[in-house]
Amino acid sequence: MKIVSIIPARYDSMRFPGKLMQQLGDITVILRTYQNVVATGLFDEVLVATDSDLIFKEISDNGGRALMTRRDHQCGSDRIAEAASGTEADIVINVQGDEPFVDGDSLKKLIEVFKDDPKKEIALASLMTPLHEAEEVENPSVVKVIVDLNNFALYFSRSPIPFDRDNEQSPPYYKHVGVYAFRKQALIEFSEQEMTPLESAEKIECIRYLEHGKKIKMVETLKLNFGIDTPKDLERAKAHLKQLNSE
């Protein structure tokens, strides 16, 4: 089973343009993400799929592999589908370019989903982590996910889900971590579909998969991950990196 990680890296982020080229410690966000994924040793190949000459040069000049892709992709998974079409991958792991602290143990758990699925019943898996702070539950930048009793996703939203109507319980809240693992053919089929209504409303790409009646296996991780969506997130990431370096 050939397992490839492809990191989508769009330069013109809506909320934080150029964020992937911001400094995080002594290197850029995108280079730190790339190097951390390579360092896990889990993948037969790691590459960055980008629409930016700057990002392409940043990765290539530092010994990595980058691929230029079209600029008109609707989401990161569409971008990696273009890149994956030229590989011999069986499983493609989409690690977001703005997730510089992605954890190797979490990625290994995702890979094991497919190794433990000889009948190939699971075509897409992703990560989630418990939320404990009300501020994060209410924050629309934090994507929440609710799952069924077998940890298959029921829905993703920027709204607080589930809603505790009577305020008498403390239901579990989970944050969706933006890492996806696809069987290659499922990824290609995903990218050939148009953006769906709920996906368009929430701006959450994996909802497209649910709207087509497909299942997404969610894997829980307790490891801390930082998605950098805003300048404030970048400051938090810098503080986290400083803490890691002092340990």
Instruction: Note down the domain range covering 42.
Output: 3-225
What is the tally of structural domains in the chain?
1
Residue 234 falls within a domain, yes or no? no
For residue 162, cis peptide bond before it (omega within 30 degrees of 0): yes
**Number of alpha carbons in the 13 Å side-chain half-sphere of residue 82:** 20
Closest CA to 176 of 212, 227, 242: 227
pLDDT digits (tens, 9 = 90+) for 127-164: 999 999 999 999 998 999 999 999 999 999 999 999 98
Residue 235 lies in a domain: no
User: For 102-124, what is each residue's pLDDT tens digit?
Assistant: 889 999 999 999 999 999 999 99
**Residue 219: band (very low, low, confident or very high) from pLDDT cuts 50, 70, 90:** very high
Residue 184 within any structural domain of the chain: yes
247 located within any domain? no
- Digit-coded pLDDT (tens) for 199-217: 999 999 999 999 999 999 9
- Whether 26 is in a domain gets the answer yes
Q: How many CB atoms lie within 10 A of CB 17?
A: 11
Instruction: Annotate 83-110 with three-state secondary structure.
Output: HHCCCCCCEEEEECCCCCCCCHHHHHHH
- % of the chain residues with pLDDT over 90: 82
Task: Write down the pLDDT at residue 164.
Answer: 87
Q: Looking at residue 73, what is its pLDDT?
A: 83
What average pLDDT does the structure give for the chain?
93
pLDDT tens digits, 61-90: 999 999 999 988 878 888 999 999 989 999
Is 67 part of any domain? yes
pTM: 0.90
CA 238 to chain centre: 20
Query: Which residues 6+ apart lie within 8 Å of 52 measured at CB?
Result: 9, 10, 11, 20
14 pLDDT more than 90 = no
Considering the domain boundaries, does residue 232 fall inside one? Answer: no
Domain membership flag for residue 236: no
**Which residue matches tokens 């009577």?**
166
Q: Domain holding 8: CATH number?
A: 3.90.550.10
